Chain A
Amino acid sequence: MSAAGGAHEIVSVQGVGFARCPSPEALNLTELVFEASSAALADAGLTRADIDGVCLAASDQLDGRAISSMQLAGPAGGYLKDEIKLGDDGALAFATAVLRIEAGTDRRVLAVSWTKASESSLETALGVNAETVYTRPAGAHPLVAEAAVTAAFLDRTGLLAPDGEASEFACWPLCHDDFPPLTDAAVALVVCEGPGAVEVAGLAWATEVPDPTARRLTPEAAVAAVAGRAAAEAGIVIDGSVVVETTDRTPYRLAMTLAGLGLDSNANVNPSGGLRVSNPVYAAGLERIAHAALAVRAGAPVAVAHSSYGYAGQGQFVTVLRKGVR
């Protein structure tokens, strides 16, 4: 992806909204999505009538619906609006919102993503993602593929593999404790044309093939490639002074991402607390962008949001946000 079209329309994040469930019964999925969208609109000082379009991203399997946007487009704000639904990471809803504004077809777009993990088993839902003929029967559950990527990372870097009882491992070398607990949450951003306090300075994403052994780039190199494009568009260098929000799905993923971004453990990473605080799986990428926006609002000149997603982290998404003129 290039920005060969020249200077893009200035796009800003005007509203950020979260909805979280203190307990699974506190909010149903419809209410969760409605509350997040409503909070984002209120944060932006807008109403649904001010919105031109809505971009959604979520996982039908985890929602337990064949086409979950049938139920959730309305609560998200899409009733009689120009609405579209993306699969996989919530950051893709944000990307689509930005494309719409840069294309000049929309002025204000809601990007909304959610996961109510308490409704279903993540492991079961993920189990049907593997290719059906060769991969799935061989037991290559996405967890197994993630473990393989992690083992290769340990080999590559010379880091010691963890030791312990078999019961401590979800799939060696990944321990149960390496994974942040799943949480129920919805996230919404109001993305607008024109300048604002938080502006989109750079945006890039890329996908690799699902088979980790067939990929051309290591995860670190894949992060570096995508981050390099986003940083170049923003005209920045990502260094230790930049706030980074990333999907730290495991400590190893965090290490891969830091290596890809050229940062060390002293970097200002996940001041929000990261996935240990909130881990709505498919909405986590959009939540990282939301927290990056809040960091800029709080005074950071630049913040970077990163998410890895897909089968064993096959997708990488990087957004650079910067302090705007107001």
Chain B
Amino acid sequence: MSPQRCAVAGVGMSKFQTRRDDLDLGGLYQEGAILALVDAGLTMADIDMVVLAQSPDALHGIGHPEQAAAGALGLHGKPLMRVNTGGATGASAVQAGWWAVASGRSQACLVLGAEKMGDATRGAQEVLNKIWDAAYEAALPLNTIVMCAMQAIRYMDRYGATEEHFALSAARMRTEGARNEHAHLRTPMTVDAVLATPYLAYPTRLAMACPRTTGACAMVLVSDDLARRLSPPLAWVRGFAARANTYFMGDKMGDCGPNDHGLYHDLHLAAASAYAMAGITRPADQLRLVEPYIPFSVMEPAELEALGVCDPGEAPKLTETGHFDHDGPMPCCPSGGTLCANPISVSAMVRVAEAAQQVRGRCGAHQVDGVHTALGAGAGGSVQFFTVGIFSADPDEPCRRYP
């Protein structure tokens, strides 16, 4: 049985910033929901299922926030499910919403979430530092910055990438983010300026790292029948897949074959599954752009290679030539990406929403010309959860770069 068609009919995003003193978490849910519903031309009465994207409860000072979300959204008798796959949560929630519509059980599914990590009184890192296994790896010491820095060092050792390559990626994304009205960091940076910032953990410098961000994101997924009765432009879901990897980074070092901490084998497998669903055999030729989850620019080359948009070890050189620029052959994160806004519960939803918005032609100043098929992806946990979504401008035609 093939999945029933599913389209993105509405997207809502906050203007991301460090703190929002005007809205609590419930208020942010409402903000995202209203923006997405208005965009779709629907109301909550049309919604028959809700998927909440909310990652660590501890970031929000409330347990099981899905319980409070039902109140904020006035869910009297609608089915709700809450998804939490760490940083990948937002993309996983959209995947769950897609399953709901593709199964025929939902005609209009609202997928939403919000992040208030800027309000964390003792800093988000204090929560995130507790995600590691207390017995084996936490004492390294590990945090998300060190985790990704170790990945980058393995990549540098294998392919000869340099700090300058990572700075080039960061400067590009910061420049792209300046064009995105929803981005949190909107000040362009040069490579030299990036390299002048201090190290957080070698080779990651401050300007190569994401901010902590507050805001909401929501998407309305609809069935084929409903989509054809709506007037907004649509982005059709062509494939969605995820992979979970081992908790322990030590398992991805030494004699570990392709599942090396420096290579994102999990992302590669998730992308391969999503490509198979979408009929994509040559991603570099059939995708117009990609929005992978890159909270640290040091992650970019390995992620692009795992997605198959360039060959192994090729990404740093292509970065030098502007291949991944907004006006290059394969734009990467034309929104500025997670590097320019990281509302962690919805960062991955923003990635797939950005891919859908590019297909819908709704990206304003950071719109890429002529987008038929685009990819968004999320990453979470100890870089162990990856989710990939593919969207195109029509439900049946072969996926291709241009309309």
Using a CB–CB distance below 8 Å, which chain A residues touch chain B? 1-6, 8-9, 54, 59-61, 65-67, 69-71, 73-74, 78-88, 92, 95-96, 98-100, 102-105, 125-133, 193, 203-211, 214-217, 222, 225, 310-311, 314-315
Nearest 6 A/B pairs, CB to CB: A5-B104, A102-B103, A103-B102, A83-B244, A104-B1, A87-B82
Q: Give B181 Cβ to nearest chain A Cβ, in Å.
A: 31
Q: List 8 A-B contacts (CB under 8 A).
A: A60-B57, A67-B381, A82-B270, A95-B81, A130-B62, A207-B77, A311-B67, A314-B67
A84 to B83, CA, bound (A): 7
Give a binary string over B57-68; 1 marks a CB under 8 Å from any A CB, 0 the rest: 110011110111
Q: Give A202 Cβ to nearest chain B Cβ, in Å.
A: 11
Residues 53 to 108 of chain B near chain A (Cβ within 8 Å): 54-58, 61-64, 66-68, 70-71, 74-86, 92, 95-96, 98-100, 102-107
Residues in A neighbouring B162, C-beta threshold 8 A: none
> What total of chain B residues lie within 8 Å of the partner, measured CB to CB?
72
A85 touching B83 in the complex, CB below 8 Å, given contacts A70-B384, A215-B76, A216-B77? yes
In the complex, residue of chain B having the shortest beta-carbon distance to the beta carbon of A205: B79
A130 to B71, CA, bound (A): 11
A234 to B1, CA, bound (A): 20
Out of A60, A65, A103, name the residue touching B99 (CB < 8 Å). Answer: A103
- Residue B350 lies at the interface, judged by CB distance under 8 Å to chain A: no
A321 to B109, CA, bound (A): 26
Q: Give A224 Cβ to nearest chain B Cβ, in Å.
A: 11
Q: Give A173 Cβ to nearest chain B Cβ, in Å.
A: 23
Q: Give B195 Cβ to nearest chain A Cβ, in Å.
A: 33
Out of B24, B76, B96, name the residue touching A208 (CB < 8 Å). Answer: B76
A99 touching B103 in the complex, CB below 8 Å, given contacts A1-B48, A211-B71? yes
A105 to B74, CA, bound (A): 31
A78 to B380, CA, bound (A): 14
A4 to B46, CA, bound (A): 14
Out of B64, B240, B243, B381, name the residue touching A87 (CB < 8 Å). Answer: B64
Out of A8, A208, A311, name the residue touching B75 (CB < 8 Å). Answer: A208
A222 to B247, CA, bound (A): 40
A61 to B127, CA, bound (A): 13
A80–B245 CB distance below 8 A? yes
Residues in B neighbouring A129, C-beta threshold 8 A: 62-64, 67
B75–A2 CB distance below 8 A? no
Out of B75, B85, B265, B382, name the residue touching A84 (CB < 8 Å). Answer: B85
Give a binary string over B1-37; 1 marks a CB under 8 Å from any A CB, 0 the rest: 1111000000000000000000010000000000000
B84–A87 CB distance below 8 A? yes
A206 to B75, CA, bound (A): 9
Residues in A neighbouring B247, C-beta threshold 8 A: 70-71, 73-74
Residues 192 to 244 of chain B near chain A (Cβ within 8 Å): 223, 240-244
Using a CB–CB distance below 8 Å, which chain B residues touch chain A? 1-4, 24, 48-49, 54-58, 61-64, 66-68, 70-71, 74-86, 92, 95-96, 98-100, 102-107, 127-128, 130-131, 133, 223, 240-247, 259, 265-266, 269-270, 273, 277, 380-382, 384-385
B66–A103 CB distance below 8 A? no
A67–B131 CB distance below 8 A? yes
Residues in B neighbouring A95, C-beta threshold 8 A: 81
A189 to B265, CA, bound (A): 28
B80–A82 CB distance below 8 A? no
B246–A132 CB distance below 8 A? no
Residues in A neighbouring B131, C-beta threshold 8 A: 65-67, 70
A118 to B57, CA, bound (A): 21
B70–A87 CB distance below 8 A? no
Residues in B neighbouring A80, C-beta threshold 8 A: 243-245, 259, 265-266, 269
A209 touching B70 in the complex, CB below 8 Å, given contacts A5-B103, A99-B99, A215-B76? yes
B66–A88 CB distance below 8 A? yes
Other than the known A82-B243, A209-B74, A310-B66, what 11 A-B pairs have Cβ atoms closer than 8 Å? A1-B106, A65-B130, A66-B127, A67-B131, A70-B131, A70-B382, A85-B83, A85-B92, A86-B81, A92-B81, A310-B70
Residues in B neighbouring A126, C-beta threshold 8 A: 63
Q: Give A147 Cβ to nearest chain B Cβ, in Å.
A: 17
A6 touching B104 in the complex, CB below 8 Å, given contacts A71-B133, A207-B80? yes
In the complex, residue of chain B having the shortest beta-carbon distance to the beta carbon of A105: B3
Out of A1, A70, A311, A315, name the residue touching B381 (CB < 8 Å). Answer: A70
A3 touching B79 in the complex, CB below 8 Å, given contacts A67-B84, A74-B244, A74-B246? no
A99 touching B96 in the complex, CB below 8 Å, given contacts A66-B128, A67-B56, A87-B66? yes
Residues in A neighbouring B24, C-beta threshold 8 A: 133
A217 to B76, CA, bound (A): 8
Residues in A neighbouring B4, C-beta threshold 8 A: 5, 103
A67–B55 CB distance below 8 A? yes
B76–A209 CB distance below 8 A? yes
Q: Give A211 Cβ to nearest chain B Cβ, in Å.
A: 6
A279 to B71, CA, bound (A): 27
Q: Give A240 Cβ to nearest chain B Cβ, in Å.
A: 27
- Chain A CB within 10 Å, residue with most, of B79, B133, B242: B79
